[in-house]
Amino acid sequence: MLRTRVFSAVVLVAILGAGLYYGGLLWWVLLLFISITGYSEFLRAVRRIPAGKDSASLSSGGISEKEPLYETALPEIAGYLCTVGYYVVILLSRRYEYMLYTVVISVVIFMICFVARYPEYDNVRIIRNFFGFLYIPFMLSFLYLLRLRENGLTEVLLVVISSWICDTFAYFTGRAFGRHKLAPVLSPKKSVEGAVGGTLFAALFGGILALITHGNIAVFAVVAGAGAVVSQFGDLFASGIKRDQGIKDYGKVIPGHGGILDRFDSIIITVPVIYILCCTMN
């Protein structure tokens, strides 16, 4: 199991590293694949009937008894088409108003799906499909937009530091010094000390990256530290969905790690924040 996990991690880093280094179309294709796969995992997760739920609780929770699980129908197809369409827009045009227009059009498309087939699809199904589109493909697209910037390669590395480096050192710091639970119900193993340690180490690595790339040490440290704080909320949010739905992993596409969302849960929310900070502070 450990060997599989390590091998998968090495392969994943190699593929992402190549895509990030070369950027352009290769990076776009990788992110589109990650976005579509993550979106699919999210839909499967939120459509799963949690263990122990009765019919009344299912109905109140927005899962219709008549709604087949894992079905790919009009709302889901709309989500995939909106994802591809949005990524085509950011590939062909760097004008931000066009990106905004695409999101607005996506809202209209989901509304049409609801109205045209009412009451076949309930409102919760439409909402979770649209939220999934915003939560995963839209948020992850900032990895592509960040890479387009003048110092994009370095700034994407800040995202990695804020999420994966933070997560690694939060684990070890929590193991060594953890005394106070960060979110006892949501994630009993995470501690306040681990969260602080992960944030401090992320800021430290941000400063080291600045030294290597001749960047502003203070700016890199602040951006990495702020991103680390946000990344931990992203991790907890994704964990909360899994806990609500009674699942361990979102998928099995990465052997030994789970699904795309299991590896990118913290990056999803971190990258737009890093993008905003980089645009503001640089």
pLDDT in tens, 71-110: 568 899 999 999 999 999 999 987 888 999 999 999 999 9
Mark which of 147, 177, 192 sits at the end of a domain.
147
The residue among 129, 147, 165 that closes a domain is 147
Tokens for 48?
């799963």
pLDDT tier, 62 (very low <50, low <70, confident <90, very high otherwise): very low
Q: 170-194: per-residue pLDDT in tens?
A: 999 999 998 899 988 888 889 999 9
Residues 106 and 129 in one domain: yes
**pLDDT interval class at 209 (50, 70, 90):** very high
pLDDT at 119: 87
User: Is the model more confident about 58 or about 210?
Assistant: 210
Q: 98 vs 27, 102, 137, 273, CA distance in Å?
A: 20, 6, 16, 20
pTM: 0.88
Q: Which residue segment(s) compose the domain that 274 sits in?
A: 149-282
In a shared domain, residues 278 and 158? yes
Residue 27 located in a structural domain: yes
What average pLDDT score do residues 234-255 get?
90
Q: How many domains in the chain?
A: 2
Domain check: are 134 and 182 in the same one? no
Give burial (CB, 10 Å; 0-12/13-18/19+) of 151. middle
Who contacts 124 (Cβ-Cβ below 8 Å, separation ≥6)? Answer: 62, 63
58 and 121 both lie in a single domain: yes
Tens digits of residue pLDDT in 214-230: 999 999 999 999 999 99
* 180 and 139, same domain (yes or no): no
61 pLDDT more than 70: no
**Residue 32 pLDDT class (50, 70, 90 cuts):** very high
High-pLDDT (> 70) share of the chain, %: 90
Same-domain check for residues 169 and 79: no
Which residues does 72 contact at the CB level (< 8 Å), separation at least 6? none
Domain boundary among the residues 100, 129, 147 is at 147
